[in-house]
Structure 1
Amino acid sequence: MRLSTSIFTHPTTTAHPPKFYKEPVFRIQAIKRSPGPIQELGIQKEAEKDLSKILRTEFAIKNIEKKVSSKKYKNLWPKPVLEALDEAIKQKKWQLALKIFGLLRQQQWYQARGQTFTKLIVMLGKCKQPDQASLLFEVMLSDGLKPSVDVYTALVSAYGHSGLLDEAFSTINDMKSVSACKPDVYTYSILIKSCTKFHRFDLIEKILAEMSYLGIECSAVTYNTIIDGYGKAKKFEEMESSFSAMVESGGCHPDIFTLNSMISAYGNSGNIEKMEKWYNEFNLMGVKADIQTLNILTKSYGRAGMYDKMRSVMDFMQKRFFFPTVVTYNIVIETFGKAGHIEKMEEYFKKMKHRGMKPNSITYCSLVSAYSKAGLIMKVDSILRQVENSDVILDTPFFNCIISAYGQAGDVEKMGELFLTMKERHCVPDNITFATMIQAYNALGMTEAAQNLENKMIAMKENSGKKLIQC
């Protein structure tokens, strides 16, 4: 009996819904004594102490950031410098991170560490700065540090993220010539991921053959990377063939990542029948759904306009204690918004807030797009006021969305204000930002303003290519 099939039907027609987890029996909770005055005072002091520590740390980081351009600070305390560097890496502020690293190298107590270089190179890869990553690798060598497998793998990743596959392969060849730095399964998995991202599937067999020659067996991560890559490229035959190879390997078992990749591939292509088939197959293999699985199903049904099944998945979540996340609500809000069902979209937006979930940039972007498409510019004004009065972290895609909304409405003054707000919020305009504004200006016959923006866009591209670290 296929228990999972009931989630694909409306709940009113389902007698026995699927059981992913056992029903909770009885929960016995100890009665907690409410804190007395002394306990409350202790809790308050702890909270104040933590807040004070956070504020001190933030102040120290900002203080370090002010000193990055100066060469006179050579004996700073290690902790604030290292914390400032970690924070810049975490937030992917690559220019600031490199400046702080330059300050770090000036310190009398500086000692080159492979872990620091690895973290920086990984960040630069994610920010698509392969030239900076390559230069940093040279800096590491000049500091007298021998490269490790982790550093080399990070460099492979940095090249791969930007599609520089020849450089990535060349780096792996360099690894082979260095003792104790041989590429491992993780290195090759990253290389495969880069190849699938840029649709160089012709290189995958070559990589697998090389791994086999070196005696490196594929891991579950390797197979999942290949399956996910083929799935996103809609190469379903190759995807299923790779799945069969994974099963036949004996050492790698399909897991939740395999399930999600395969049903996502079919769901995104609109092949609902195949999506449901593979969902049931994995269920029979004992691979159970997680919240991401259910979000994929929700999104796939929504895209296909199968709203009853979409609601069935959400009902199933509630019955089986899968609590909808912000991602879940964003999917539903976007689905109804794109379909022009404004009232339904607003209903789920209210439900989201009622459940205590904070809307994020993606939520507001979906709302703005839907209102703009429906010609409800006053509603866009309302969203903008909500955002201004909240602590939501805005990003470039949100500004692109709301700038586009005002551009289509012909409100170039508001569009210009938002463009300036981007800088205040430290959101860097991208090609979409400029293209949107240029299109709006041209549509209104403001050719000079459009030309000025085009010049700014060219200048930004040239400035982003400048190198920040000197060997």
Structure 2
Amino acid sequence: MASLSTTTTTPPPFRPPTTTRRPTSFRIHVSTQTESDPSHSSSSSSPSSSIDERTRRITKELEKQKAKEYKERKEMVNRKIASHKAVSVILRREATKAIIDKRNRKKGSINSKKLLPRTVLEALHERITALRWESALKVFELMREQLWYRPNTGMYVKLIVMLGKCKQPEKANELFQAMVDEGCVLDCEPYTALLSAYSRSGRLDKAFSLLEEMKTLPGCEPDVQTYSILIKSCLQVFAFDKVNGLLSDMTDHGIKPNTVTYNTLIDAYGKAKRFSEMESTLVEMLADRNCQPDVWTMNSTLRAFGYIGQIETMERCYDKFQSAGIQPNVQTFNILLDSYGKAEDYMKMSAVMEYMQKYHYSWTIVTYNIVIDAFGKAGDLKQMEYLFRLMRSERIKPSCVTLCSLVRTYAHAGKPEKIGGILRFVENSDILLDTVFFNCLVDAYGRLGCLAEMKGVLEMMEQRGCKPDLITYRTMIKAYSFKGMNSHVKELTELLATVQRPPIKRLKPDF
């Protein structure tokens, strides 16, 4: 197996992980059957009667086991039925209270104020996990009307965190005020959740004011998690001066950074190519005995050097982290694959792929997207198509990233019929297409000179509910200009003024 080291012509193999994995097929079977003891059997008993006795015992044990399994299955089914029934009531309540009232009067078995706690909590948890914030708030309002309801700080915190992820800081603030009105105990945790909601939405001014407010309230003083969340939000908008101020503030209040804080700093400095700060942060982290690097530290460091093409430095860091006992995960190998692919080192890339298969690291959609894109850019259509078929055989649904890689490769190879095959595949799937994919399709048909097909992409976008953006029209204008079709160029140029410019977003790797 080839290695990642660059010191020899033929790289040595990867060092295997120190932990061993038990094969999934390994099982321990303990027999419930016991042999009859001859000393306890009657002298007149025949061998056939002994066998019959054992058979009866075995049959009896099997019947007991089947009865137990049947009972467990029945209980599970009953729980599911109760849960679906409660969710049905909740959904009707969301639509209109009159329907529930009518149902209650008819059947009398369901009371909107006497729902089982478990079923309501399951429905609420399901919506929080799926980030369905509007439905979650309606279920929560229904829960507050139940006879068994008692205010709970933890439940409010979960909802506020969900609203923060959904970029709904004002709703989160309303929920925070409701928690205060219900007399819930306030400490650092709910304040941190609300601060996180504002910082996730870019409301740093409000987040910093909450930080100052926390400092003045007994029992609500900010902790390392509060500072880490605010630091991460500042780093995402490149507000490095504010980050330095927060780190100094932590020192003044005797709060030491933890592993999450250091990992956030290392990752952000690496993405911003501020390698001196990244290195000093890593050295500071290593000097702290209570804060040791982990696999996320390794991944952030490898990503930083791999992204700028410093492959040898990345490999040395990989060896050092492994020597320190930090074992890689799937994200680590995705980073290595992406770095080797960009460096066009396909031998080492293949070595990582073989290593993952040998030690049973399951490939994710990110893994497939990386290798499909790499072999596509290398012009190896046979390997790219094989990996795409393998991906589908593993029941991993392709994404728009996968489709864009295929379309770009076929365009460069001059194979418009292959692009048609991708579109037929899309028609028979439930893949959610976005504007980026259609822009890729427009560019591919423009490169191939298939202007009729390029224009037809606009109709496909309309059918899929996607609106053309600046990139769509500019790509089409470029293709029409190359062919001297000035009337089409003029028409599209007029449309450019009506297109809203997208907000500038920072690209983040998906591994």
Instruction: Say yes or no: TM over 0.5.
Output: yes
Match of 1:118 among 157, 167, 170: 157
- The normalised TM-score by structure 2 is 0.72
Q: Confirm whether residue 403 of structure 1 aligns to residue 403 of structure 2.
A: no
- Residues 417-465 of structure 1: CA deviation (Å, up to 9, x unaligned): 555545xxxxxx6xx86556666898757969x979969x79xx9xxxx
Match of 1:171 among 210, 231, 247: 210
| Residues 402 and 40 of structure 1, relative CA distance in 2, 3 Å threshold | farther
Measured after TM superposition, the shift of residue 378 of structure 1 is 4.5
Letter in 2 for 1:155: L
| Residues 22 and 229 of structure 1, relative CA distance in 2, 3 Å threshold | closer
Cα distance in structure 1, aligned partners of 2:171 and 2:496: 29
Cα distance in structure 1, aligned partners of 2:22 and 2:220: 53
Q: CA RMSD in A?
A: 4.2
Match of 2:230 among 180, 186, 191: 191
| Residues 439 and 101 of structure 1, relative CA distance in 2, 3 Å threshold | farther
**Unpaired runs of 5+ in structure 2?**
32-58, 101-111, 446-452, 481-487, 504-511
Preserved contact between residue 112 and residue 143 of structure 1 (Cα < 8 Å): yes
Q: Which residue in 2 is equivalent to 1:359? A: 397
- Residues 80-122 of structure 1: CA deviation (Å, up to 9, x unaligned): 4433332222112223333433444455554332222212221
Match of 2:91 among 49, 59, 65: 65
Measured after TM superposition, the shift of residue 128 of structure 1 is 2.0
Measured after TM superposition, the shift of residue 385 of structure 1 is 4.5
Q: Which residue in 1 is equivalent to 2:508? A: none
Superposition pairs for residues 68-107 of structure 1, below 5 Å?
Answer: 68-70=94-96, 75=113, 77=115, 78-107=117-146
| Residues 148 and 319 of structure 1, relative CA distance in 2, 3 Å threshold | same
SS of corresponding position for 1:8: coil
Cα distance in structure 1, aligned partners of 2:277 and 2:312: 19
- The normalised TM-score by structure 1 is 0.78
Letter in 1 for 2:5: F
Deviates more, 1:279-288 or 1:363-372: 363-372
Q: Which of 1 and 2 has higher RCO (CA within 8 Å, sep 6+)? A: 1
Q: Confirm whether residue 216 of structure 1 aligns to residue 251 of structure 2.
A: no
Match of 1:21 among 7, 18, 23: 18
Preserved contact between residue 263 and residue 296 of structure 1 (Cα < 8 Å): yes
Preserved contact between residue 438 and residue 453 of structure 1 (Cα < 8 Å): no
SS of corresponding position for 2:226: helix
Cα distance in structure 1, aligned partners of 2:288 and 2:410: 51
Q: Which residue in 2 is equivalent to 1:7? A: 4
- Residues 163-196 of structure 1: CA deviation (Å, up to 9, x unaligned): 2222111111122222222111111111111111
Greater Rg by CA: 2
Cα distance in structure 1, aligned partners of 2:464 and 2:83: 27
Cα distance in structure 1, aligned partners of 2:173 and 2:293: 36
Measured after TM superposition, the shift of residue 70 of structure 1 is 3.4
| Residues 417 and 49 of structure 1, relative CA distance in 2, 3 Å threshold | farther
Preserved contact between residue 259 and residue 292 of structure 2 (Cα < 8 Å): yes
Preserved contact between residue 400 and residue 436 of structure 1 (Cα < 8 Å): no
Deviates more, 1:283-292 or 1:97-106: 97-106
Match of 1:206 among 245, 249, 258: 245
| Residues 258 and 374 of structure 1, relative CA distance in 2, 3 Å threshold | same
Superposition pairs for residues 276-291 of structure 1, below 5 Å?
Answer: 276-291=315-330
**Unpaired runs of 5+ in structure 1?**
423-428, 462-471
Preserved contact between residue 192 and residue 207 of structure 1 (Cα < 8 Å): yes
Letter in 2 for 1:204: V
Cα distance in structure 2, aligned partners of 1:41 and 1:216: 58
Cα distance in structure 2, aligned partners of 1:8 and 1:32: 47
| Residues 202 and 47 of structure 1, relative CA distance in 2, 3 Å threshold | same
Cα distance in structure 2, aligned partners of 1:320 and 1:251: 32
Cα distance in structure 2, aligned partners of 1:44 and 1:126: 42
Match of 1:240 among 256, 266, 279: 279
| Residues 46 and 87 of structure 1, relative CA distance in 2, 3 Å threshold | same
